[in-house]
Amino acid sequence: MFHREGQKIILTTFFSMAIIVVLAQFYIAEPWLKMTIQILALVILILILQFFRNPKRVVNKNFNDLLAPVDGKVVVIEEVEEEEYFKDKRIQVSIFMSPTNVHVTRYPASGVIKYSKYHPGKYLVAWHPKSSEKNERTTVVIHTPRFGDILYRQIAGAMARRIVNYAEVGENVQQGEDSGFIKFGSRVDLLLPLDSAITVKLNQKVVGAKTCIATTPHRDEE
């Protein structure tokens, strides 16, 4: 299964690589050069296919656990001052995605979208400390029954050139559902209440819609 955001690129790459393979077959006499070109074309196609893969995952939905929004590696766990929406202190958990990771973004919790905004910006490497402020990014806030308001940011990296965000203000969303896509290398930041109990560690690999990022004490729905 491939993500809908990759359909155009997959088709374009497939036909382009097919043309290269055919041209190499008929117009290149040197066997080693012909084989090299054809193998490279096949490798490029495989890389594009694996990047846009969209594995279906069964989600054990619950209000008390916050699930990873993406596949990747935890690179930041720290208390920060969130300036865009909350304007107070939050726990930030950042997940870096390499080009080999699944790049589908999934809703980390069920709730109602309160805020969704796109910010144009630079393309610093995704693990740069300033990437969450300077890079192209989207910010989404979900109101949840147990965590209250949580925020996540899709952040473009040095290779990424397009962020896709499906979240719309007022929409009811379900934990684990597709919320967007970031093309070619990126990072996602989660900004959580200070009393959230973080359940991951630095450098831990996480799986979107599967790995629990944090749990929280029960709260009455606001």
Is 116 assigned a catalytic role?
no
- What pairs with residue 148 in β-bridges? 144
**Which structure tokens are listed for 138?**
């989207």
pLDDT score at 79:
96
Q: Residue 124's CB: how many other CB atoms inside 10 A?
A: 19
Instruction: Check pLDDT > 80 for residue 31.
Output: yes
pTM surpassing 0.75? yes
Provide the pLDDT for residue 115. 98
Beta-carbon contacts of 30 under 8 Å, excluding residues fewer than 6 positions away, are: none
Instruction: For residue 14, give both structure tokens.
Output: 């497939």
Lateral strand order in the sheet of 65-67 = 65-67, 212-215, 197-198
Q: How much is the pLDDT for 9? A: 83
What is the 8-class DSSP label of residue 5?
G
β-bridge pairing 163-165 and 197-198: unpaired
CA–CA gap between residue 187 and residue 151 (Å, rounded): 14
Q: Pick the more confident residue, 47 or 6.
A: 47
pLDDT over threshold 50, residue 41: yes
**Residue 222 pLDDT class (50, 70, 90 cuts):** very low
pLDDT in tens, 169-220: 999 999 999 999 887 668 899 999 999 999 999 999 999 999 999 998 655 5
Residue 127 zone, left/alpha/beta (φ > 0; ψ -120 to 50; rest): alpha
- pLDDT tens, 116-166? 999 886 655 555 555 556 678 899 999 999 999 999 999 886 555 578 899
Q: Under DSSP, is residue 109 helix (H, G, I), strand (E, B) or coil?
A: coil
- Percent of the chain predicted with pLDDT > 90: 61
Please tell me the predicted confidence (pLDDT) of residue 132: 58
**Which of 46-55, 84-93, 94-103 tops mean pLDDT?**
84-93
pLDDT tops 50 at residue 16: yes
- Catalytic position from the list 94, 110, 186, 196: 186
The confidence score (pLDDT) of residue 217 equals 65
Return the amino acid letter for 128: H
